[in-house]
A and B are shown apart, each in its own frame.
Chain A
């Protein structure tokens, strides 16, 4: 019996080593592009990828990985070579408190960190006020200042815009706007309200897809009230030396975009569900005359299979590694009261760290991709297994441990032949708990570019596409049930019939 367990453990160790090996990406000369988890960023990432490829380089696009913090850290660590960002975000978030005023200053601080900010792409995605084109034409409104002449216009503003200091309160003061009908409402509902003429003016992001769809006019910010959110490419300075052609190709993107073009591309994705790579290909063809072989469209089955492989490897590697660590830790905790307090305290604390925070913290250590996700899952798996191993051993009756000792069985043999087999039902229950939690938590891996069932969920949320969300959520639930069944079967095989 214990030889069987030894064999299984050995096989598991080999498997973990093999999977970890395959999980570490090879260090070939590929340009790695990142993008944030919203449509515009993904499209820009695709365009940049196309340009890199046109220069004869390989490009890997890590789509929709999390938000600003994750991408910024990944760029600093060299896990990606470039990603699209906005000047306003750099000034207000990444370098908040440094009081950076101009793009030149921004360029200087970025360069200190080894990052080049290429010249702006040509559009500004900032807060703006929008009004139906037909209404604007009728009233002759072009700028925000023009609103002063129309005090009876009704404003429907998003709640966030209403409360932000750089939102409505400041805007009203700067332009001395006279409107009294101001409602707070949900951003998505605002477009509907405008359509049904319940309100006349709304706030929006200047490249929202809906601007084209609802035929809206953006009012010019003639007093320059809103901060600029010029889209730029942030590129690691070392790329220029490593792959000068790729760098030169990326520079071609500067100045080629306009708000109007971006709105159209966003609309193509969000409203017409055109795949981002196709949108990018059209843009590259029109703007640069670059012709690319259209990537074959992935079938749903192929995508599901890929996600399943990614998800399974995330869960399997992290779980196997955690088993290999937790069981010895649990044994140690059971044998020494003092060590037990420290160990259980530590793994308990890990459990309380929010998963997103843990992922961000792990990026400097593990980069982006499967590795940080596996590390996070590994850390979360520890508690149930360590705790169950420890209690499984400490709850063995003292009469039996004394019997084992009285036989003259040395401690190691006692552990293998008596304590671990007797604690096995509890240990397996801990492994099962960890596995099921892992299957669910692994969906967050998509936030750091690890793929898996989180990928369609993330894309589905971004595109407001329920069927896509279900393509991730349903298999994840099925996998959780399968894992549960698998451990039920494992218990029957591994646990002694005498228990």
Chain B
């Protein structure tokens, strides 16, 4: 088992806020991991440490045995795909310009770019005639697909997604969840996904990592989190997110 990410004793402060407090995490190549936890628990910060977007105040972070340092991590970042809410698309570029931005920067031949774009449109199930549109002319779900295409363009080894479906309504969200799962499986890439929705996490990822106040509380499958919670907080977090159908069956449920 090769670990593609190896984080040891990571500490990160923002002024007086302790965002990450001694976090150690190792992610095996080819697996999918979901970072869960309530808002402010440090999920996004952890993802940015992996990307080398923020400097840490302690500990070491490695990607394939290379230390991730924000100043020198441009080449590393090109091996990672990063998707944020709403896709983080550049408004002044069309869909295809957004997706091909890095490939153009790396001087890919036009033919190669065109072929890769076609592949990605097919993979994410977005009709190709959207290529010339600007982000403001797309729906939220479409923007998310474009963001995913942009992240996948250079065939990254890992895909880092920060609440990619956070801003979508339930039906589109469910559609995209299924599409995402298929894509993850077909790619076989390593996936790190941030979400605060535990069922989405369990649906899309093999392993869950629960964060609370900058610390990892438990690391395991959903079944492990439910059956042998590492602390009362784990149970509280899991129970707080029961499905609406469940609450129909037990109307006296406490929240």
A25: chain B residues within 8 A (beta carbon): none
Contact mask for chain A residues 463-499; partner B; CB cutoff 8 A; 1 contact, 0 none: 0000000000000000000000000000000011111
B75–A399 contact, CB under 8 A?
Answer: no
- Asked, given contacts A400-B90, A403-B90, A422-B92, whether A496 binds B134 with beta carbons under 8 Å apart, the answer is yes
Q: Which of A408, A410, A498 is within 8 Å of B93, CB to CB?
A: A498
B53–A421 contact, CB under 8 A?
Answer: no
Interface of A is mostly: helix
* Contact residues, B100-121 vs A (CB, 8 A): 101-102, 105
- Is B82's CB within 8 Å of the partner chain A? yes
Cα separation A418 to B150 with both chains bound (whole Å): 15
B77: chain A residues within 8 A (beta carbon): 405-408
Cα separation A405 to B88 with both chains bound (whole Å): 12
Q: Which residue of B lies closest to A416 (CB)?
A: B105
- Asked, given contacts A400-B88, A498-B94, whether A407 binds B134 with beta carbons under 8 Å apart, the answer is no
Q: Which of A407, A409, A498 is within 8 Å of B91, CB to CB?
A: A498
Chain A interface size band reads 20 to 34
- Is A413's CB within 8 Å of the partner chain B? yes
Q: How far is the CB of B174 from chain A (nearest CB, A)?
A: 25
Cα separation A497 to B92 with both chains bound (whole Å): 7
Q: Which of B73, B93, B105 is within 8 Å of A413, CB to CB?
A: B105
- Is A402's CB within 8 Å of the partner chain B? yes
* Contact residues, A211-263 vs B (CB, 8 A): none
Cα separation A410 to B90 with both chains bound (whole Å): 16
- Is B84's CB within 8 Å of the partner chain A? yes
- Is A12's CB within 8 Å of the partner chain B? no
Interface contact tally, CB-CB below 8 A = 65
B80: chain A residues within 8 A (beta carbon): 406
Q: How far is the CB of A336 from chain B (nearest CB, A)?
A: 16
A499–B92 contact, CB under 8 A?
Answer: yes
Cα separation A418 to B102 with both chains bound (whole Å): 12
- Is B135's CB within 8 Å of the partner chain A? yes
- Is B136's CB within 8 Å of the partner chain A? yes
Cα separation A404 to B92 with both chains bound (whole Å): 13
- Is B172's CB within 8 Å of the partner chain A? no
B102–A409 contact, CB under 8 A?
Answer: yes
A417: chain B residues within 8 A (beta carbon): 101, 105
A418: chain B residues within 8 A (beta carbon): 90
Cα separation A402 to B76 with both chains bound (whole Å): 15
A407–B82 contact, CB under 8 A?
Answer: yes
Q: How far is the CB of B153 from chain A (nearest CB, A)?
A: 9
- Is B78's CB within 8 Å of the partner chain A? yes
Q: Which of A403, A409, A413 is within 8 Å of B84, CB to CB?
A: A403
Q: How far is the CB of B105 from chain A (nearest CB, A)?
A: 5
B53–A498 contact, CB under 8 A?
Answer: no
Further contacts, 17 of them, CB under 8 A, given A417-B101, A498-B136: A400-B88, A402-B48, A403-B82, A403-B89, A404-B90, A406-B51, A407-B78, A407-B150, A408-B74, A408-B75, A410-B74, A417-B105, A422-B91, A497-B134, A498-B134, A499-B91, A499-B92
